[in-house]
Structure 1
Amino acid sequence: MPMISDFSLTASVLQTKAQDFTLTSDPLSRIWSTHLESGTSAGQADKAFHDQRTLAASATEDLDLAGILTDVYGATITFVRVKGLFIAASSSNTNNVVIGAGTNPWATLLNSTGTVTLKPGGWCGFGAGAGDAVGWPVTAATGDILKVTNSAGSTSVTYDVVIVGCSA
């Protein structure tokens, strides 16, 4: 099944300062983007997983990138390489969403002990460039778990996740 993916990150900042007779401004506008065609080589991806998920208070879950997740058609997804990962914590969360290390961690992005903490409303995104044929490799059974944790025991957390990658 053909698939086309586009990732982008935009930074827009406008600083101004009143001078004696003028207003000086410093506009910044940067866009970093990647376009991936269907396939498994450089500039390509052929698998996608996306979902909105909720974790109970103090709960954790393992997103198994090799053989457990299913796509929107119900087919099991086995990522061999990840080309894009995007996670956003709901702004209505009270607790943080922590992603990263666990048992059999997918260590090629955050190393074996690294984590990223998303405060309520926070988000992060990682994208391989279009010329990158490898992305972040996944090793089935020993290096394929992206652990997601609710940071506290008071309330549940909701988060959105999008993963795009290759089957080979």
Structure 2
Amino acid sequence: MGVTSTLSMSASVLQTKALDLTAAEDSLAFRRAVQLTDGVTAGKADRVFHDRRTLAASASEDLDLAGVLTDAFGQALTFVRVKGLFIAAAATNTNNVIIGNAASNAWAALLGATGTVTLRPGASLGVMTGPADATAYPVTAGTGDLLKVANSAGGTGVTYDVVIVGTSA
């Protein structure tokens, strides 16, 4: 099974200001992209997890990056390094989606052991490493492999999409 990935993020912004006889413009086209081929070294990835998930009111779950998640073909995934992480909260959510701060064995490579990111309804988080980065964001099976995702409040459930791209070694 081979993996080929393009991880990207972009922002296009146009600012204008009316002047007496003309208009001034500032145009920004920001884009970062990484092409990854199949493998486990720099510029490569061989594991992918993606899913749309729903959490009940006030619920949370730990995504175990080492041995519990399964790929699209039903095979168990053990990430040793994460090269791309994308999480998007559904725009129809009422509550926020909170990422990070697992009670034990927290995957601390990105946010530290107790750090969190709050995704308001419709918000997204995207993190990726550069093509020359072989280290990426390490996962330590059994002691540093749980990525907590939580519903911020009671009353309603939340839905979120998650994509994780990484390596098995």
Is the pair's TM-score, using the shorter chain for normalization, greater than 0.5? yes
Matching of residue 107 in structure 1 with residue 111 in structure 2: no
Please, what is the CA RMSD of the aligned residues? Answer: 0.5
% of aligned pairs identical?
62
Separation in structure 2 between the aligned mates of residue 126 and residue 30 of structure 1, nearest angstrom:
15
Separation in structure 2 between the aligned mates of residue 113 and residue 120 of structure 1, nearest angstrom:
22
Cα deviation, 1:118-167, whole Å, max 9, x if unaligned, reads 00000000001000001100000100000000000110000000000000
Unaligned runs of 5+ residues in structure 2 are none
Separation in structure 2 between the aligned mates of residue 146 and residue 57 of structure 1, nearest angstrom:
19
Q: Which amino acid is 2:27 matched to?
A: P
Equivalent residue number for residue 73 of structure 1: 73
The number of aligned residues is: 168
Separation in structure 2 between the aligned mates of residue 158 and residue 56 of structure 1, nearest angstrom:
9
1:1-168 alignment runs, 5 A limit = 1-102=1-102, 103-168=104-169
Separation in structure 2 between the aligned mates of residue 140 and residue 10 of structure 1, nearest angstrom:
32
1:11 deviation in Å?
Answer: 1.1
1:3 deviation in Å?
Answer: 0.7
1:73 deviation in Å?
Answer: 0.3
1:75 deviation in Å?
Answer: 0.3
Separation in structure 2 between the aligned mates of residue 134 and residue 36 of structure 1, nearest angstrom:
14
SS of 1:148's equivalent in the other structure is: strand
1:19 deviation in Å?
Answer: 0.7
1:58 deviation in Å?
Answer: 0.2
Normalised by the length of structure 1, the TM-score is 0.99
SS of 2:110's equivalent in the other structure is: helix
Separation in structure 2 between the aligned mates of residue 139 and residue 92 of structure 1, nearest angstrom:
34
Unaligned runs of 5+ residues in structure 1 are none
Runs of 4+ more than 2 Å apart: none
Separation in structure 2 between the aligned mates of residue 154 and residue 123 of structure 1, nearest angstrom:
22
